[in-house]
Structure 1
């Protein structure tokens, strides 16, 4: 892949000062978001003294925005510690990195369930011919409490009655209109009055079942997030980040080490992982490879999805490395942007399909409900294939044009 950002002929040396500055900036953003989140009703106990205050009245949306910023900074710090770990104190970085990953995952579960439910019920309406999508009910929005501590990210099966294997990316908390056929997520049409008469009995009952199961999972995730934000474990993480905001523990050799080879290594790991993907198969838009396992009794994540999820993770690490090398203005790379969008859609559809399959395994559901859930599962697996196709087309097209 042609990558102008990491041109080996470029003689400019990027020193550890850039790494230290980036980590300090992200730590400051973390502390600012933590203070803002607390002041807007997010809870979570005390805030380190170095956090920057925010004097403003705010509501749930501001709390959600603050939580998003908190999680975004945690992910960037964790990813940067991973990519540039040879330049950082080993004991310190290896102890902080998993704690940041824990925090990021915990702060991602509640909204992941909400976004997944939005996606699935939107798809049910589209598949059954409904013309409107029900607006977010008060019960759904407040089932987890008045505060909004979490946004985006991954979820796991722990505590979920439907066996959801993983989480989903962040989306708007309010439900929106019906997606156009062939799209990979909710549309942007305004919310309309619900018209359940347009739904078949099976689709209506399937939507109600998904709403009960995923709302319960969301409520549990909310409680877990509140507990985490008030725990001694979280305060230890916040204290470590507060120290990082003023002092980055570099190794003695770091000041004279060029950062570019480590960033290039992150780029190479991404390219190697993409090479291992079945891009030839993904080049056929309707090959239905994603439907092989169907509604099998196996509740584990779909085995074909793991390599694609890994590429998405490596792409994110590569993007963070570019932010370190180019503070303030990362050069626009259309290839990375389109690839990231396709992989995000892939993850969303993959995990929505898992949720539909898990709901279909609920004991003693009506045949019509199971049928609707099966159709929904197949629809989301086809969205998986469409996302793989979009990724393949973008990646291969850019490769040809830059070769």
Structure 2
């Protein structure tokens, strides 16, 4: 099937970048492989002491466990017409619960590292870390002396708050991995490693239609994004909205987060269709990295904003947290610009 070169701003666009002939057998192979990887990662996680050990091997095993859980859950969502409906609807929320629970500890740790690195960069006491900012001068134009006075206390406050959150997430992960709920999930995945509950017609059903539908949902979501605005690297829209007094999550971020999830589902669908021969699409890879950075910066900005609302903090501390919040909202803007640049690239053509 020939692939069309379409306008990414057109919400009705469809690239139909899948072209292999695949049936339910390919889906079964993929799910069995991911289930096997889940069980292997779980065994390695236990052998290395689990989350209580904190070793690199344990962290890598937990990451692999989350990765396979996400792929199984995403495939159950995209290809649900080919799977037993009751079984699939039971499995998906359980896998999402497990993946989310295991991800929180790492997320808090990475957020703290990101914010402390940004404080060091802004106050001139260290080098920048994380995603390279493309923000305008507003994020770092504050007098260094005023910022340096409050940066140390701001860093200490963030350290206390996010370390406490990470500790609680660590305890929650330990509790989850020892729960009967988790053992039920592991048992279901063990069965999946040998037997995939396909429908009676799955082996003769072409997977290209549900995969194309997943791609279509992604393109529809991208079509709602303000890509023309994001194409200007210093438009500051993310900063202006991000400085609103409302403490609720920024509604302007939600469509970008949704695109990130849909892009992940599209990538998983391509993996199902192409198997180990799935071509690397630099366009999707770059877009996904930009959206990950967008999420990280948005959540870091929210953490800085929450810390600034701590009662009875010194004005210099609040000032430093305000500058940090603005800096991370500029990082949000930079990530949107990076996504827009990646999305304009030519998609990979499959034979």
- What TM-score comes out, normalization by structure 2 length? 0.88
| Aligned equivalents of 2:219, 2:325: Cα separation in 1 | 31
**SS of 1:326 mapped into structure 2:** helix
| Aligned equivalents of 1:126, 1:258: Cα separation in 2 | 52
In the alignment, structure 1 residue 391 sits paired with structure 2 residue 339? yes
| Aligned equivalents of 2:222, 2:242: Cα separation in 1 | 25
| Aligned equivalents of 1:295, 1:281: Cα separation in 2 | 18
- For residues 10-89 of structure 1, the aligned pairs below 5 Å read 10=19, 12-42=20-50, 60-89=55-84
In the alignment, structure 1 residue 119 sits paired with structure 2 residue 103? no
Cα separation, partners in 2 of 1:198 and 1:72, compared to 1, 3 Å = farther
| Aligned equivalents of 2:131, 2:47: Cα separation in 1 | 39
Q: Aligned match of 1:337 in 273, 281, 285?
A: 285
| Aligned equivalents of 2:27, 2:277: Cα separation in 1 | 15
Cα separation, partners in 2 of 1:287 and 1:37, compared to 1, 3 Å = same
Cα separation, partners in 2 of 1:183 and 1:42, compared to 1, 3 Å = farther
In the alignment, structure 1 residue 210 sits paired with structure 2 residue 210? no
**SS of 2:334 mapped into structure 1:** helix
Equivalent pair of 2:49/2:58 in contact (CA under 8 Å) = yes
Equivalent pair of 1:125/1:199 in contact (CA under 8 Å) = no
Equivalent pair of 1:350/1:384 in contact (CA under 8 Å) = yes
| Aligned equivalents of 1:126, 1:43: Cα separation in 2 | 31
Q: Aligned match of 1:93 in 66, 88, 94?
A: 88
- CA displacement, residues 100-134 of structure 1 (integer Å, 9 cap, x when unaligned): 000000000011000000000000000000136xx
Segments ≥4 residues shifted beyond 3 Å: 1-8, 177-181, 293-297
**SS of 1:373 mapped into structure 2:** helix
**SS of 2:49 mapped into structure 1:** helix
1:290: Cα distance to partner? 1.3
| Aligned equivalents of 1:59, 1:346: Cα separation in 2 | 27
In the alignment, structure 1 residue 324 sits paired with structure 2 residue 272? yes
In the alignment, structure 1 residue 312 sits paired with structure 2 residue 260? yes
| Aligned equivalents of 2:162, 2:96: Cα separation in 1 | 23
Cα separation, partners in 2 of 1:365 and 1:59, compared to 1, 3 Å = closer
- For residues 3-402 of structure 1, the aligned pairs below 5 Å read 6=16, 10=19, 12-42=20-50, 60-131=55-126, 178=129, 182=133, 200-398=148-346
| Aligned equivalents of 1:358, 1:98: Cα separation in 2 | 29
Cα separation, partners in 2 of 1:326 and 1:294, compared to 1, 3 Å = closer
Equivalent pair of 2:101/2:172 in contact (CA under 8 Å) = yes
- CA displacement, residues 145-199 of structure 1 (integer Å, 9 cap, x when unaligned): xxxxxxxxxxxxxxxxxxxxxxxxxxxxxxxx75696379xxxxxxxxxxxx998
Equivalent pair of 1:263/1:318 in contact (CA under 8 Å) = yes
| Aligned equivalents of 1:34, 1:214: Cα separation in 2 | 27
1:59: Cα distance to partner? 7.2
Number of equivalent positions? 329
- What TM-score comes out, normalization by structure 1 length? 0.77
- CA displacement, residues 320-369 of structure 1 (integer Å, 9 cap, x when unaligned): 00000011121121211111111111111111001000100101100000
Cα separation, partners in 2 of 1:375 and 1:43, compared to 1, 3 Å = closer
CA RMSD of aligned residues (A): 2.4
Equivalent pair of 2:95/2:185 in contact (CA under 8 Å) = yes
**SS of 1:108 mapped into structure 2:** helix
**SS of 1:332 mapped into structure 2:** coil
